[in-house]
Every structure is written in C-alpha cells, then in structure tokens.
Amino acid sequence: MDQHILDSLQQPGDVAKLSNEELEQLAHEIRDMIVQVVSHNGGHLAPSLGVVELTLALLATFNMEEDKLIWDVGHQSYAYKLLTGRKDKFATLRTLGGLSGFPRIAESPYDHFGVGHSSTSISAALGMAMARDLRGASHHVVAVIGDGALTAGEAFEGLNLAGHMARRLIVILNDNEMSISSNVGALSLILSRTLSSQWMRQKRRNLLHFLRSIPHIGENLALYAQRGEWSFKSFFTPGMLFEALHFTYIGPVDGHDLAALKKNLAMAASVEDGPVLLHVRTIKGKGFAPAEKNPTKYHGVSSFLPETSGRSVDKKHFATFTQVFGETLVKLAQEDPNIIAITAAMPEGTGTDLFRTVLPERFVDVGICEQHAVTFAAGLAATGFKPVVAIYSTFLQRSYDQVIHDVCLQNLPVTFCIDRAGLVGEDGATHHGMFDLAYLRHIPNMHLIAPRDENMLRHALYTSIQLQAPCALRYPRGVGFGVDLEPKLRLLPCGVGEEVQEGEKIAIVACGNRVHPAMEAARLVQKELGFTPLVFDPIWIKPLPAEALLDLAVRFKCCIFVEDGVLAGGFSSAVLELWSDHNLLTDIHVKRIGIPDTFVEHGSQLELREMYGLRGHCIAKTVVEFYRGLQSEH
Ligand SMILES: Cc1ncc(C[n+]2csc(CCOP(=O)(O)OP(=O)(O)O)c2C)c(N)n1
C-alpha cells in the first residue's frame, strides 16, 4: 500500500499543513496501516478505525508540543501513535518490547497521560487544566471520551467538578452508540436524541401554539419562551444535560467530516470562559466493512485474515474458561430462579452474553460501572437473590470498597467471577489481573477459590452459589487445559485442597491455573532428579486448607510455591503467614515463583509466563536448581 503522505510527515504538527483532500487520503493510508498491523498482532481495531478523522482534525487544530490530549481508555489511539513519531515502530504494536496498545507517558512525550481503564480522562484533564492555570500558562487541555466510557461514575464526577470549577477545558464526546456491545443506560438514550431541524421547528411551533392558547397569560408565556435563555435546541438534545452541568455544548458533529471537525474544534478552542463539550458522532470500525458491520466482534481482536473479510486465523482450541463459565452459569440459572447475572459492559468478554440470550430478564449490563455493579449485586443479595457478578480481575480493582463495605461487611452471598486473572498478555500493564488474590484474601467473610482448570471452575461456581457468603472465583484468560468436564456438578468442601500428585522430598504448592504446569514440572523433575515431587492444589485461597498445609510443612523440607499473581500479599504469602503462626518456618526451605514487585509489560501470555518462570519447564528448572542448591549446602 502506498503510504506516501504518512511517510512524508516529520512532526505531528505537519498534519496542520495538509489540505482536506490530503487529509482524506492520509485517513485511508492510516486505516490500511492499522488493519494491516492489527490483523497480524491483534488489538483494538474498531475503536481505532472510528477516530481516524477525529485524530487528524485534533492534530490539525492543536499543538501537541504544548497542548495536552488525553484519550479515554486509550484503545482508540493507534492513529495518534502513527502520527506522533511511532510509525516506524507501529508493526511492534502490543508485542514484547514493542509499542503498547495504550498511551503511556513512558512511551512518548506526546502521550500526556497513561490510560487503559475507562473513564479517567475528564478527571485527569481537569487536573491538568488547573495546573496550567496555576502556572499562568495558556495551552489547551483536551479529553476524548467515548459514550461507553461516559457511563462510569468517574466520568460524571469529572464533569461535575469541571462545571463547578469553570476552567478552560475541552471534552470531546466520541459517540458511536457502542460500548463494546451496544451502549446501555438512560444517558445513551439522551445522547441518541438526534433532531432534524425540521423536527425541531415543528416542536417549537407546537409549543408556542400551545402556550399562546393558554387564556390571558399565553401570549406573554410564548414571548418569554422565545426571548428567554431557554434554548429549544439544548432542551431537546443532549446539550441539555451538559449545559445543566455548566458546559458549553457544541454539536453533534459528523466525526468523519474533516472540514466540520476542524471548524468545530476551532470553535471549541475559542471558548474562553469554562469547559466546553464537543459532541462528535462516529462510526465504530469505519472504513473496514467487517468491523463496521460487527463492531462488537472487532472491538478487540486476535490476529485475523483481512483479505478474507476478517475471518479469524484458524487455531486449534479447547473451550476457554470464559465459555465454560458462561455455559455453566446458564445451566445453573435455568434450575435456580434466584440467580442473576451482572456484567459491567463486558457481556462477550465475560461469557455472560449467553445468559443475555437465554435468560434476558435476569441479565443486567450495568455499563462501565464496576463499583455500581457490586453494590447493585449487594442490594439483590440482601433481598434473597443470588447475584453472580462477572468482572475482569483488573477492573474489579475499581470496586475494592464496595466489595468490603457493601458485600463482605454484611456477609452477603454475592459470587464474583473474576475472569482474566493473572497475566493477560498483549493488553499489558493496565490489564494484568495480578493483584486480586492480594486485594481479596484479607477481607473478612470473603471466600476465594482458584480453580485449577475448566472442570474445577464449574464445581467452584456451583459451590459458590450454594455458599450463602461472599465468594470469588478467579480464573485466567484463554483456553482451558482440555480436561473432561464431569457432567455432575459437586460441592467443593470449604477449605479443603487436593494432593493432585503424590510425591516425595519436594512439595510444589501451586495455585489455580498453575497446578497443571506444576504437574508437568513434577514429571520433568522426576526425569532430572529420579524422584517425583508432590503437587498440592489448595483449591481454596480463603479459607486455606490449613490442616493439609500444616501437614506439608512438617513432612517436607523443601517447598516451592507457584502463583500467577503478585508475591506480596498473595497466595504463598498467606501460607507463609500460616506456617509462621505455627512456628513451622524454621525447618523448611521455601522458594516462591510469582510476580515480583513490578508492573508487567505487554507480550504474549506465553512469553510473560516464561519470563516470570510460570510455565511447566520453568517451574521444573527452578525446582531442580533449588533442590540441588540445598543439597550442596548440606
Ligand atoms: C474500568 C474499565 N472497565 C472496562 C473496560 C473494558 N473496556 C474497554 S473499552 C470499553 C468500551 C468503551 O466504550 P466507548 O468509551 O464508547 O469507546 P469505543 O470503544 O466505543 O470507542 C470497555 C468496556 C475498561 N477499559 N475499563
């Protein structure tokens, strides 16, 4: 593909020198480049394709050397990356050591704020606007937020304070009527109030007619309505909402019309007295037919074949943990009318889309509102229902207080299905689910299960729903281990683990999805050392299988822990507390495999697990080295 305009650009500011025709050509070149790279590396395709013209218009209007631009979530920033000095590295997008899939301060001076989790942009931009004013500077601060991201409380908190502070700030609402799925909530209905001017004139005429028909005072009322500040347009359009929050509202503007975008951005930039909201309408997936047709599927994709209209690259697959969870939940809910499924804008990602299809009356998508999801579930649980809240590990971080204060303190039977636990791969540092064991296990009343495979996940879900207490299950992104699914679900006895591999001399205690790799490691160790280590699966991270773990500490002199989460405060840390409380630490040698005190960057799940020694052969190597080291000491 000819990239001649893209290739000719030296600085982000060069975009401002291009004619609208050239910008249109450049938009084609950028879209081709994005499709080419994302089809190879995977990534957020539809969101990025939707904002190509908006990105060009922003660069044509603002000076990225001085002005500040914050992309909400940041999954739509690929065109921006291409135009801000990262074209030559773009092929490395989301790969180990390559460009991040999200804006990052450390990656480029043009990334003014790091993002990944939704709905932070207005708050951050307002902070930057205040900082600018305190320093007596005059640059612009611009936040670009999607209509999906606008459903979150934090976005409203930002709007609320921005309206109150009345600082100069530009918020661009990128409205494509989609979150990952269709957008939800009353707000989305307000945003979709498109008024043709004809409709507007008709409404206005009807209203004036009605007012005039009121005896005695009608004429005066009509005059007042016409003259007053009461804006017909903003009353009947989304502007009403934003103007009530003291924003100047501009729009809606066609987000693929470069001339209109530039004109309206210039208008927004000229507003001196307080915040302005520019409402831009875009088409998610614009310019790539399969993505336009199915923006949900192309929101975030693995590698695919663009030349065959986006058919996925054929991969041999076991069922994913997510699929098994989704199917099991539907089965259980068909038998128990008290089960309610809740997702925070991730029906497809969490596998609850099946529930939406089969049992829509008991399915709730709350929007990108993880905090609300948890308290909403607590409300249901307080009245006898059995809510199951499916949220990714990284996004449940948002709900820490709600989990403690609304669920656990009241000991309410909410089941948390924590998908994408552990290292997730290419989405990187903002998305790894590595903190959940540490941020949940210290909460009183909380129960915590880490099923080792998709079969155990089913039993864990069944158990949790029967438990009458808060319970979280955490399981990883991706395919399971291809194990047989036992047809009859069974209760997992609370706080009881399983010795999944008999053995001697060395105990490997592995958590959740690291149990199967630990068993593989045991086989490899046998070949190397001539004996098989024992492998223990605690199943329950809380309550711990204390009896069995205390017994292990007495029987073994050498123990290796494996967990795909942070070592600080995680699973092994819990066992060491237990052993310390029983004065058992003096006689046992311990090695811990897990994630050290660092944020983990992006790369494939396999590469990252290799890097942190979490794969079977890595575990085996650590075990052998540790054991040999101990032998040579004695
Ligand atoms: C706190 C949080 N929850 C969930 C997500 C997952 N997520 C990423 S993008 C997205 C939808 C965002 O919709 P919108 O803001 O309208 O942007 P669009 O993708 O439509 O361009 C969601 C739910 C997230 N990034 N952060």
Instruction: Measure 480 CA to ligand 1 centroid, in angstroms.
Output: 26
Classified as helix, coil or strand, 72 is coil
Whether 284 is a known active-site residue: answer yes
Residue minimizing CA distance to atom 25 of ligand 1: 117
* CB distance 172 to 255 below 8 Å: no
Q: Which long-range contacts (CB under 8 A, 24 or more apart) does 241-247 make?
A: 241/187, 241/190, 242/159, 242/277, 242/279, 245/159, 245/160, 245/162, 245/163, 246/163, 246/164, 246/166, 246/274, 246/275, 247/159, 247/162, 247/163, 247/171, 247/274, 247/275, 247/276, 247/277
| Cα(437)–Cα(418) distance, integer angstroms | 10
- Cis geometry, peptide bond prior to residue 252 (ω within 30 degrees of 0): yes
| DSSP E strand boundaries for 88-220 | 141-146, 170-175
**Residues 424, 448: Cα–Cα separation, whole Å:** 20
Peptide bond into 470 cis (omega under 30): no
Rounded Cα distance between 137 and 134, Å, is 8
How far is the CA of 555 from the CAs of 511, 514, 548, 578, 630, in angstroms?
20, 22, 10, 16, 17
Give all domains of the chain, ordered by start, each with its CATH number: 4-193+239-286 (3.40.50.970), 195-236 (no CATH), 321-474 (3.40.50.970), 498-633 (3.40.50.920)
Q: How many angstroms separate the CA atoms of 251 and 125, rounded? A: 21
Distance (Å) of CA 564 to CA 67, 419, 512 = 40, 13, 8
In short, whether 282's Cβ falls inside 6 Å of ligand 1 is no
CB of 178 sitting under 6 A from ligand 1: yes
pLDDT tens, position by position, 578-625: 999 999 999 999 999 999 999 999 999 999 999 999 999 999 999 999
Ligand 1 atom showing the smallest separation from residue 116 Cα: 25
CB 75 less than 6 A from any atom of ligand 1:
yes
Compute the distance between CA of residue 209 and CA of residue 206 in angstroms, rounded to an integer. 5
What three-state secondary structure class fits 595? Answer: strand
H-helix segments, 485-539 = 515-529
Question: Is there an atom of ligand 1 within 6 Å of 391 CB?
Answer: no
**What integer pLDDT is reported at residue 557 of this predicted model?**
95
DSSP 504: S
pLDDT of residue 194: 60
Quote the DSSP letter at residue 402.
Answer: I
The reply to whether ligand 1 has any atom less than 6 angstroms from the CB of 286 is: no
The residue from 348, 370, 426, 454 that is catalytic is: 370
Ligand 1 atom with the smallest distance to the CA of 368 is 3
- Ligand 1 centroid vs 118 CA: distance in angstroms? 6
pLDDT tens digits along 265-320: 999 999 999 999 999 999 999 999 999 999 999 999 987 766 544 455 445 579 99
Task: Report the alpha-carbon distance of residue 427 to residue 362 in Å, rounded.
Answer: 31
- Which pLDDT score is estimated for 208? 76
406-444 burial, b if ≥16 CB within 10 A, otherwise e?
bbbeeebbbbbbbbbbbbbbbbbbbbbbbbbbbbbbebe
Q: How many angstroms from the chain centroid is the CA of residue 40?
A: 22
What's the pLDDT score for residue 233?
59
Residue 398 falls in the annotated catalytic set: yes
DSSP 423-474: ---TTGGGT-B-SHHHHHTTSTT-EEE--SSHHHHHHHHHHHHHSSS-EEEE
Q: How far apart are CA 390 and CA 462, in angstroms?
A: 15
Cα–Cα–Cα angle for 76, 397, 442, nearest 5°?
165
**Closest approach atom of ligand 1 to CA 73:** 25
Q: What is the Cβ-side half-sphere exposure of residue 252, based on CA atoms within 13 angstroms? A: 23
- What residues in the chain have per-residue pLDDT under 50? 229-230, 308-310, 313-314
- Compute, in angstroms, the gap from residue 74 CA to the centroid of ligand 1: 9
Q: What are the C-alpha distances in Å from 428 to residues 302, 344, 595?
A: 15, 20, 14
Please say if 335 is a catalytic residue.
Answer: no
- Residue 147 Cα: closest atom of ligand 1: 16
Query: Ligand 1: does its nearest atom lie under 6 Å from the Cβ of 441?
Result: no
**pLDDT of 234:** 58
- Of the candidates 398, 452, 458, 474, the residue annotated as catalytic is 398
First-to-last CA distance in the chain? Answer: 66
pLDDT of residue 230: 46
Catalytic residue among 284, 286, 386, 592: 284
Q: Which two tokens stand for residue 632?
A: 């040579």
> What is the model's pLDDT at position 317?
77
Cβ(58) – ligand 1 distance below 6 Å: no
State the amino acid at position 310 in one-letter form: G
Rounded distance, CA 466 to CA 462, Å? Answer: 7
Is 117's C-beta closer than 6 angstroms to any atom of ligand 1?
A: yes
| 191 close to ligand 1 (CB < 6 Angstrom) | no
What pLDDT, on the 0 to 100 scale, is given for residue 308? 46
Work out the angle at residue 100's Cα, subtended by the Cα atoms of residues 118 and 57, and round it to the nearest 5 degrees.
70
Q: pTM for the complete prediction?
A: 0.93
